[in-house]
Amino acid sequence: MLLTTMIFAGLAAAIHVYIFILESLRWDRASTRAAFGIHSDAEAAATKPMAFNQGFYNLFLAILTLMGMAFVLGSSTTIGATLIFAGTGSMVAAGLVLLLSSPKLARAALTQLAAPALAIIFGVITFTR
């Protein structure tokens, strides 16, 4: 179960690094704008500072999760599990906020929250034995 937990936590971190890249580094690209439902250059320009900041939130959640994984692999299980749960729990919460506030972005929200939710489920089984 530890391996499954680590796989889903790592996948969740990778997804959030990718979201960081889209929001903070590629916001002006047409493919990124389409993925986020931004339809005009003006709308992209107006939302760029917010997206830049939001991208870093995603990066920090990924780093938190990756640090947790490193602690678990280094045999500091309590610290690692705590960091993994903090990172992935925040990812799930953010995904739920997106789902509830923007139902038209349900696919994006589910992509954002599925892997971390599975990491939490398998992590609870793994770390509470």
Return averaged pLDDT per consecutive 10 residues of the chain, 129 residues in all: 97 98 95 89 94 97 98 96 98 97 92 97 94
**The pLDDT value given to residue 129:** 82
Exposure string for 79-101, b = 16+ CB within 10 A, e = fewer: ebbebbbebbbbbbebbeebbee
At residue 37, the pLDDT reads: 86
Dist. CA 88–CA 113, nearest whole Å:
8
What pLDDT score was predicted for residue 70?
98
pTM, entire model: 0.93
Which residue blocks in 21-40 are alpha helix, DSSP H? 30-35
